[in-house]
Structure 1
Amino acid sequence: MRRLYFFLLITALVIVLLGCTELFDKPLPDPVIPGEMVYVKGGTFMMGDEFGDLNTWSKSSPVHQVTLTYDFWMGKYPVTFDEYDAFCDDTGRTKPSDAAWGRGTRPVMRVSWWDAIAYCNWLSEKEGLPVAYILYWEPSQGQMLDADGNITTDITEVVGCRLPTEAEWEYAARGGKHQSPYRYSGSDNIGDVAWYWRNSGDEYLTGEWDLNLIAANNCRTHPVGTKLPNALGIYDMSGNIWELCSDWYDRDYYSKSPGINPFNYTPGSFRVVRGGSWLYDATFARVANRSVTGTALPTSDRGFRIARTVH
């Protein structure tokens, strides 16, 4: 009798599970774990607009070979309001506005490049690491520091939490050693991997880009990790929020940058941002697209992601 009861129980469970196969066919989104990072092995890739169809202003050419000789960690998600608010609570900084869109796991926005590197240094100290940046505006220009606190231009010597270099960002967005051949980070279908101006509001928008239409449609940021990841398991590298990089922007940098571990540390007028955002068109979300921002310019479409050199 007990064997019969056990058999019937197992049979019932199997029937229930077979009837729920749809649940297992649909991958659930990963829970957002604060500070979670993805290990990225170094390697060689072709950097720049390999399709040859980005606008000339982006200056994502010439396509050139880049080798990263070191491994690094890249944030699985952009830094969220939850994470940045903890920094503000701990340091007494004023919290940036969320434009009434909500905080939580939405990417932090309205932070300047200086705010971002201050967060990096705070996070380094919380994790017992040497800080990565000099924070004084002048004359440091946000220079990098090695493990002993000396100024360095060699990214492999920087131990603390920092913003990714432009080369690290593009390499990771392309899937690292996987080198996925996609226009966007993880897919050729932008809707699978990115929030951009057409899909970030109440309704899907068609036609030409129109700022008034975008505002009326309540286009905005979205919680991180709600689109598909790329081959490395990294989310939101296309769309949602522009991501600040450590590099100074030089429109002609690709014509003269070193082929090994490039990092533009020469001061200029702007810093590099990558990835596009909820406010911009699909072109800006391309993994090869380059754009710029001022160091002291906080906007509702700019945030950042953390990187660390593996030591």
Structure 2
Amino acid sequence: MKTFHNFMQRVWMEKKRSVVMLWMIQGVLLLLRPDLDAQETLKKEQVYTNSIGIEFVLIPAGSFIMGEALRTECNTCNAALDETPRRNVSITKPFHIGRYEVTQQQWLALMDANPSRFKGDRHPVESVSWNNVQLFVYALNVREKTTAYRLPTEAEWEYAARAGSVTAYSFGEEASELADYGWYVMNSGLKTHPIGQLAPNPWGLYDMHGNVFEWCRDWYLADYYGRAPSKDPTGPAAGDGKRVRRGGYWGSSTRILRSSDRDFLLPEAAAGNTGFRLVKELQ
């Protein structure tokens, strides 16, 4: 009888330990659940298409080398003064950026008229001023009941364009390979081309080199890099009356298509070589 009693006591203790272990495992899973949910959400958000068909790619937070060195500092470097000093910049939050430049069809989904010089539904919209783009952004935010859409900062643009590279172009140093990645003076026929016809950069973004210049949110100052913060720079509080544009266009030389090259235009000016792509903040 005593032996049977001891046996039943051992069975009870084993069962009790099993229940406690089960509770512990469930507790750990509950603690991990927010992280697992966040990872699943992040995975789903790798590519996002909005209500007017703009496709976005999720860009991770990270650090990169922004700008370029002068030829006197580096034999293969070819910087203009406004690209210096070359420095480490951190982008502390992930964000979505357009896989392609905004097209004329997408522009017309919200705006009354297509101002583009080179017409085509899938061609990038151009001849739009920085001010015009703000109206488009406002209309898109209203349509989707959000405040998440905007132009990229200059730092976000270069971070996305470089896609982890430290070379002149996202694909390397050789300008002879540009015709595979971007529309410029040597292959464009001096006109825009439909989006996504050439190879993307390593993060899946098309036409970051050439086709049309792309507006950025920042004011332009030639000497801004010497005083810019290293974390999430958003440009000077006030510039010299011009806004930044990046990436080069259908008539650019190879030098202008470098990832670090900076350009600018008055915000009220609309040029047939200038369009844009959007950022959508994660909210």
TM-score relative to the length of structure 2: 0.75
Q: Of 228, 237, 249, which aligns to 1:257? A: 228
Report Cα offsets for 1:266-308 as digits up to 9, x if no partner.
1221000000000111111110000111100001000000002
SS in 1 for 2:214: strand
Q: What residue in structure 1 maps to residue 8 of structure 2? A: none
C-alpha contact 2:151 2:215 (8 A) present in aligned 1: yes
Residue type matched to 2:149 in 1? C
By percentage of residues, which structure has more helix?
2
Q: Of 169, 172, 184, which aligns to 1:184? A: 169
Large movers: runs of 4+ above 4 Å = none
Cα distance in 2 for partners of 1:185, 1:128 equals 35
Structure 1 residues 266, 174: CA separation in 2 closer, same or farther (over 3 Å shift)? Answer: same
C-alpha contact 1:186 1:229 (8 A) present in aligned 2: no
CA displacement at 1:265 relative to structure 2: 4.4
Q: What residue in structure 1 maps to residue 68 of structure 2? A: 49
SS in 1 for 2:255: helix
Larger radius of gyration: 2
Q: What residue in structure 2 maps to residue 165 of structure 1? A: 153
C-alpha contact 2:65 2:166 (8 A) present in aligned 1: no
Q: What residue in structure 1 maps to residue 278 of structure 2? A: 306
Q: What residue in structure 2 maps to residue 103 of structure 1? A: 120
Report Cα offsets for 1:145-193 as digits up to 9, x if no partner.
xxxxxxxxxxxxxxx2000000000000011xxx124322345421111
Residue type matched to 2:194 in 1? P
Q: What residue in structure 2 maps to residue 292 of structure 1? A: 264
Q: What residue in structure 2 maps to residue 68 of structure 1? A: 91
CA displacement at 1:103 relative to structure 2: 1.7
Cα distance in 2 for partners of 1:56, 1:50 equals 8
- Counting aligned pairs with the same residue, the percent is 36
Unaligned runs of 5+ in 1: 1-32, 131-159, 202-218
C-alpha contact 1:74 1:307 (8 A) present in aligned 2: yes
Cα distance in 2 for partners of 1:180, 1:119 equals 32
Q: 1:224 aligned to 2:195?
A: yes
Q: RMSD value over aligned CA atoms?
A: 1.6
C-alpha contact 2:126 2:274 (8 A) present in aligned 1: yes
CA displacement at 1:86 relative to structure 2: 1.4
Unaligned runs of 5+ in 2: 1-51, 72-76
Cα distance in 2 for partners of 1:267, 1:230 equals 32
Aligned length: 223
Cα distance in 2 for partners of 1:114, 1:87 equals 15
CA displacement at 1:34 relative to structure 2: 2.5
Q: Of 211, 218, 230, which aligns to 1:240? A: 211
Q: What residue in structure 1 maps to residue 134 of structure 2? A: 117
C-alpha contact 1:173 1:287 (8 A) present in aligned 2: yes
CA displacement at 1:76 relative to structure 2: 0.3
Residue type matched to 1:308 in 2? K
Cα distance in 1 for partners of 2:96, 2:160 equals 10
SS in 1 for 2:169: coil
Q: What residue in structure 1 maps to residue 20 of structure 2? A: none
Residue type matched to 1:162 in 2? R
Cα distance in 1 for partners of 2:221, 2:64 equals 21
CA displacement at 1:125 relative to structure 2: 1.6
TM-score relative to the length of structure 1: 0.69
C-alpha contact 2:97 2:278 (8 A) present in aligned 1: yes
SS in 2 for 1:87: coil
Report Cα offsets for 1:181-239 as digits up to 9, x if no partner.
432234542111100011101xxxxxxxxxxxxxxxxx100001001001110000110
Q: 1:199 aligned to 2:187?
A: yes
Cα distance in 2 for partners of 1:200, 1:68 equals 33
Cα distance in 2 for partners of 1:37, 1:289 equals 24
